[in-house]
Copies of this chain bind each other. A is one copy, B any other.
């Protein structure tokens, strides 16, 4: 694996060939993503020529740097295109090569933009906030008498989020002429065409109706881009929007839309995730070949020469996540939905453009008339579900936990206040995977639902429990249910005894202390800890996070001197708080995700937060040792 060093960009820059620079950055972004094992190439590549154009021709940051108050500000609202931006920042000498090679690693580059990284101006990753944030910056610049524009990139699918239209109308009302939005109009969202998910209609007419000065051009044509920005200078007092028509996957023939979509049978494969070895090699070869037509003697450096150190998983006694299984609880959830469909004709499934990740594509294919797509619009999805429930349907609402419970929190409150029943499937709950970073990791969702009077929050620990709890939610629950689901593979196969509502089950016997855990990730860590502590710690799987059978709990804890809870959540607002409310007078020690969730591999993130099995064992031993000594 080879990277193009920064010195080569200095050389290429003198050729004044932005297309060449774009391909060189594509090659490096491809390497970074391949090495990280995940990342978003499709929209990094569609946006690449625009980003290169901005930094090499249009913005003043290359001259004044990223600390000058009068600098132009650029950031991408969609955020997942950040591997492309990192590659450009590396080309400019802002990010060193060693860091580019630590994409999605602890202490490296976050999977979505974070202001802790040089050149990153705003945190993004959850969609639709960028125009508002950019106009806040632009307003501040004007208020403070600072020079420089604010340029915000958005996706096109991203424009389904309603907040964009709040930002658009406010920027127009405030006549924010120093704000520019560029829409990366690549016509595809996560894995389907925008027109198939939820059409944007006449996008330019919409932007004009919102009072913006609008232009459009080929987003890969530098002369056209230059013309658009030149034209924008004449419309001083209006915010400007450039609809840049781009090709998703641009630069690698087999990743380009529409060819890639056709080859994928209607699904675009290169939105997220690293390419396999063969695809990586083909893609890199194609880029390198084209680069050599313009810079024949381009020098590439082997990645292992740039690495600071070997970055393998730590070698410890019991390697956590060593035994990753083929089980996905989310897949079991998708299967269970299908199994329940025939007996429950009132059951309908709602999606906000995450159907593949949420494993509801099989339901969509089997029951297209019972599948409802809101586009990337979680608030609309929840309120639409509320309306369906008022008509007697049982909506099952899907999104990532971090988006659904936070973005649509008031809509969930409103729905639950109508005394209808809706099931919320909170995908990607918890700390792991930690590569995408804090915009995606969900460690607050239980706390965000906890004060609702009629919401039961559950997290199953394996596939069978997932199916059982979903069946309970559909058939037995009289009120709303939120089902937290891990998105990654289960770290180990678990046998989880079936128990009644509000109850858990012992999964490891022990005598001194109780350790509560839930979900496949933390049950594995809890068991790892217990295995190190011989027979001292009894592990209990408790999937009922805010409703516990008080009698069962009291009997369970009575013989034990110490109680611990391992949360796949912040230490505030989840199971430990529930148990404290039930067990007045008992001390409970909680191990949770303190602070901001770390970005990195599972092992890195778990260890960073002290919630891997080895750390938990040490922390428990410390408490038990102090108790014995006292």
Give A residues with C-beta under 8 Å from B. 69, 114-116, 121-124, 126, 129-130, 132-141, 143-144, 146, 150, 160-167, 169-170, 172-174, 198-202, 205-206, 208-211, 348, 369-370, 372, 374-375, 377, 379-393, 395, 402-403, 406-407, 409-411, 413-414, 417-419, 438-439, 443-444, 447-448, 450-453, 546, 569-573, 577, 580-581, 584-589, 594-596
Tell me, rounded to whole Å, the shortest Cβ–Cβ distance linking A619 to chain B: 15
Assembled-state Cα–Cα distance A417/B393 (Å): 38
A134 to chain B, nearest CB (A): 6
Closest to A206 in B: B209
A387 touches B450 (CB 8 A): no
A438 to B130, CA, bound (A): 31
Residue among A121, A137, A403, A452 with the most chain B CB within 10 A? A137
Q: Is the CB of A123 within 8 A of B414?
A: yes
Q: Within the complex, what minimum Cβ distance (angstroms) separates A155 from chain B? A: 15
Q: Which residues of B contact A201 (CB under 8 A)?
A: 169, 172, 209-211
Complex contact A388–B166 (CB within 8 A): no
12 A-B Cβ contacts within 8 A? A115-B418, A122-B386, A132-B380, A133-B387, A143-B348, A143-B369, A144-B392, A164-B165, A166-B379, A167-B380, A172-B201, A406-B413
**How far, in whole Å, are A571 and B450 apart by their CA atoms in the complex?**
10
Q: What is the CA–CA distance of A211 and B203 in the complex, to the nearest angstrom?
A: 11
Given the contacts A417-B123, A573-B447, A588-B584, A136 and B384 also touching, CB distance less than 8 Å: yes
Tell which of A132, A146, A588, A595 has the most Cβ of chain B within 10 Å: A132
Q: How far is the CB of A523 from chain B (nearest CB, A)?
A: 22
Do B450 and A166 have beta carbons less than 8 Å apart? no
- Determine the chain B residues whose CB is within 8 A of the CB of A546 once the complex forms: 572
User: For residue A209, which residues in chain B have a CB less than 8 angstroms away from its CB?
Assistant: 201-202, 205-206, 208-209
Question: Is A447 a contact partner of B444 (Cβ separation < 8 A)?
Answer: no
**Inter-chain pairs besides A137-B388, A166-B375, 15 sampled, C-beta below 8 Å:** A129-B379, A135-B387, A140-B392, A163-B379, A165-B165, A166-B379, A166-B380, A205-B209, A208-B209, A414-B439, A447-B447, A447-B451, A451-B572, A577-B581, A584-B587
Instruction: Name the distance in Å between A444's Cβ and chain B's nearest Cβ.
Output: 4
Q: A584-B588, A585-B585, A585-B586 are in contact. Are A387 and B140 (CB under 8 A)?
A: yes
Query: Smallest CB-CB separation from A198: which chain B residue?
Result: B173
Q: Is the CB of B115 within 8 A of A414?
A: no
Say yes or no: B137 contacts A391, CB within 8 Å: yes
Beta-carbon contact of B585 and A388 below 8 Å: no
Distance, CA A390 to CA B295, complexed state (A): 39
